[in-house]
Chain A
Amino acid sequence: NAGVMQNPRHLVRRRGQEARLRCSPMKGHSHVYWYRQLPEEGLKFMVYLQKENIIDESGMPKERFSAEFPKEGPSILRIQQVVRGDSAAYFCASSPQWEQYFGPGTRLTVT
């Protein structure tokens, strides 16, 4: 059973560009979560999704950030018009019920 997959592992974007981060949950897991980790800090919850539904987006910035988990395909975290402050590691986790298993993360660098 493959683990949670994230791609790309590293992403470099210039200010103003769009970043798309992908997450494929573990087989059989219907819950997906996105977290952001700034340097020297713990992970901060952003959004929780189930197939075709956003369950909790209380941790998402109000502008430029969006997330989806379509019926088919991976979950996508999209950041529009990136700024330097968006540079961070973004982790996806999936869960069958309550234990969350993390992917390897995507390190986003905004230049």
Chain B
Amino acid sequence: AQTVTQSQPEMSVQEAETVTLSCTYDTSENNYYLFWYKQPPSRQMILVIRQEAYKQQNATENRFSVNFQKAAKSFSLKISDSQLGDTAMYFCAFMKGGGGADGLTFGKGTHLIIQP
């Protein structure tokens, strides 16, 4: 079974700063996918960024980027130039690969607060 650990229950930064959210996972799989989801107060789950484990290059989506360290089983999310609208719960998630889709295993989340 896979586990996903987010060690920061809450973080708070000033607007325009850069913030990094940590995520580690444990798996015996070699083929898998990793995701970061954002859940704002509306509770809608929004896909922020995705990473295929077989790709060495770190994924980037505008102000969001990841630092994927496969050997260390680490998958941190960096948010640059943070904005008030980035305030939300952020969940790291793992999914096994291999032919078909599968259920996601989520971490407990990090509550990110962007201060004006």
Q: Which residues of A contact B (CB under 8 A)?
A: 31, 33, 35, 41-45, 48, 55-56, 58-59, 89, 91, 93, 95, 97-102, 104-105, 107
12 more A-B residue pairs beyond the given contacts A31-B101, A58-B103, A100-B47, with a C-beta to C-beta distance below 8 A: A31-B100, A33-B103, A42-B91, A42-B108, A45-B105, A48-B103, A56-B103, A98-B97, A102-B47, A104-B42, A105-B44, A105-B45
Q: Is the interface of B mostly helix, strand, loop or mixed?
A: loop
Q: Is the interface of A mostly helix, strand, loop or mixed?
A: strand
Q: Is B75 an interface residue (CB 8 A)?
A: no
Bound: A107/B44 CA distance, A: 12
Contact of B106 with A42 in the complex, beta carbons under 8 Å: yes
**Residues of B within 8 A of A (CB-CB), count:** 23
Interchain CB contact (< 8 A) of B104 among A89, A100, A104, A105:
A100
Contact of A104 with B44 in the complex, beta carbons under 8 Å: yes
Bound: A104/B46 CA distance, A: 10
Q: Is B95 an interface residue (CB 8 A)?
A: yes
Minimal Cβ-Cβ distance residue in B for A105: B43
Bound: A59/B47 CA distance, A: 22
Minimal Cβ-Cβ distance residue in A for B105: A45
Q: Is B102 an interface residue (CB 8 A)?
A: yes
Bound: A80/B115 CA distance, A: 44
